[in-house]
């Protein structure tokens, strides 16, 4: 099966997001596969040393098919997690998230009789927050009727109709050093202030609203006999609504010290807006209808906590459907895998959805022109 060969090509080229050279090598292979399938080379876009690829068919993008070729797996992961296909299960670092989705996107577009209006964007820094590609993604999506994200599916092949928005913070504390044995009272203990602030931040979550505010990595102090002069901790925030994201952001920036003479600096803020159900409802209805017409079991739908580049496109008001890629599981984990039996039908369904949106755009244009 040619699709499996193409997936193997990409998986065997390790591409951790923080290794710019590795991502560039991966981009070379993605481009080679795309040229063979799509017949034309991509535009190679390098931003701050990070490599992104874009294929445009026609003058004006109307459907953006979106994916990424970077992974969380460090160089050398293939030794312990080699590419293999056994008993209908494909394995290898990054196969599920999301090199299989990239291959599916190319095969789906290649099967179209008319590609006019299709844009395929494959970025190289999604796993680290799309630090250079966000503006590129939003600009490409802005005039589109739909964005189809080929990220891996949710459990059981469900597409992702909702994603939580994300915010990231670094809370920095400045205290005052002193000898821990001779005169600890002369110091301002940043470690204690960090503890106070962690407890305060943890209270900002709201279970009923689906809002999680989670202190993660923390550190303070330098030596065991010195009152800590500085410290910091990171905070991961996940929200279902923009209102909750704004509430937490205001609260984070309103944090005040508990200890006299301690100082707090808050860095960071919202990273991805929520992908809410309203952004995906029409596209989910379309794919359900198309699946039935093709004799394919319609995919379920799921709301998930993880973010993707689909959050960006939904955030600027473009209809977005996510999780259209590989069916399997184990993203970022030892058990990362793809179910081979789902590849062909899933790819056919993606192609049908692209075609359906393009036809709707053409029909609308014809009606408006009358």
- Can you give the CATH number for the domain in which 246 is found? 3.30.70.360
Last residue of one domain, picked from the residues 272, 295, 321: 272
Both 150 and 172 in one domain: the answer is: no
Buried b (16+ CB within 10 A) or exposed e, 268-306: bebbbbbbbeebbeebbebbeebbeeeeeebbebbbbeb
Both 149 and 29 in one domain: the answer is: yes
Catalytic annotation, residues: 70, 126
pLDDT at 370: 45
Last residue of one domain, picked from the residues 251, 272, 293: 272
Domain coverage including residue 345: 2-162+274-369
Sheet holding 89-91, edge to edge: 84-86, 89-91, 337-339, 328-329
SS3 342: helix
Residues in the chain, pLDDT under 50: 370
Both 213 and 284 in one domain: the answer is: no
Both 259 and 285 in one domain: the answer is: no
SS3 311: helix
Task: For residue range 252-279, list pLDDT tens digits in order.
Answer: 999 999 999 999 999 999 999 999 999 9
Number of domains in the chain: 2
Both 8 and 120 in one domain: the answer is: yes
Please, what is the average pLDDT of the chain?
96
User: What token pair was written down for 182?
Assistant: 């001779």
Both 214 and 359 in one domain: the answer is: no
pLDDT at 367: 66
Q: How open is the CA angle 185-187-190, to the nearest 5 degrees?
A: 125
Contact residues for 318 (Cβ-Cβ < 8 A; gap 6+): 64, 141, 142, 144, 146, 147, 279
User: What token pair was written down for 121?
Assistant: 């964007």
Beta bridge partners of 118: 63
pLDDT at 363: 82
pLDDT at 364: 75
Both 138 and 179 in one domain: the answer is: no
pLDDT at 369: 59
Please report, for the domain that includes residue 359, its CATH number. 3.40.630.10
Both 322 and 353 in one domain: the answer is: yes
Last residue of one domain, picked from the residues 272, 298, 332: 272
Indicate the length of the chain as a whole number: 370
pTM score above 0.85: yes
Helices (H), 186-342: 190-202, 242-253, 277-294, 309-315
């Amino acid at each position: 099966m040619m699709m499996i060969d193409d997936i193997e090509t990409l998986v065997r080229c390790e591409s951790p997001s923080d290794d710019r050279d590795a991502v560039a090598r991966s981009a070379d292979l993605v481009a080679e596969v795309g040229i063979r399938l799509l017949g034309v080379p991509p535009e190679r876009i390098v931003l701050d040393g990070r490599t992104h690829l874009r294929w445009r068919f026609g003058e004006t993008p109307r459907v953006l098919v979106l994916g990424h070729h970077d992974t969380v797996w460090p160089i050398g992961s293939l030794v312990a997690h080699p590419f293999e296909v056994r008993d209908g299960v494909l394995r290898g670092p990054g196969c599920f998230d999301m090199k299989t989705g990239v291959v599916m996107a190319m095969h789906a577009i290649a099967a179209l009789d008319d590609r006019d209006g299709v844009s395929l964007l494959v970025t190289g820094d999604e796993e680290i927050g799309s630090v250079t590609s966000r503006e590129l993604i939003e600009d490409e999506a802005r005039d589109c009727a739909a964005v189809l994200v080929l990220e891996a599916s949710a459990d059981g092949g469900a597409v992702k109709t909702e994603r939580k928005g994300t915010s990231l913070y670094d809370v920095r504390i400045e205290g005052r050093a002193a000898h821990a044995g001779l005169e600890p009272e002369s110091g301002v203990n940043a470690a204690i202030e960090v503890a106070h602030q962690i407890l305060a931040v943890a209270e900002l979550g709201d279970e009923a609203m689906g809002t999680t505010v989670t202190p993660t990595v923390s550190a303070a102090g330098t030596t065991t006999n010195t009152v800590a002069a500085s410290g910091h901790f990171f905070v991961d925030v996940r929200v279902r609504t923009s209102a909750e994201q704004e509430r937490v952001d205001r609260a984070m920036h309103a944090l005040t010290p508990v200890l006299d003479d301690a100082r707090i600096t808050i860095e960071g803020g919202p990273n991805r807006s929520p992908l809410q159900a309203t952004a995906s409802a029409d596209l989910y209805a379309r794919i359900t209808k198309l699946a039935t017409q093709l004799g394919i079991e319609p995919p379920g739908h799921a709301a998930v906590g993880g973010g993707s580049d689909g959050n960006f496109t939904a955030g600027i008001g473009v209809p977005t459907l996510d999780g259209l890629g590989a069916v399997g599981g184990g993203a970022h984990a030892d058990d990362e895998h793809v179910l081979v039996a789902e590849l062909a039908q899933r790819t056919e369904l993606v192609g049908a959805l692209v075609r359906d949106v393009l036809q709707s755009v053409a029909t609308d244009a014809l009606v408006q022109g009358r």
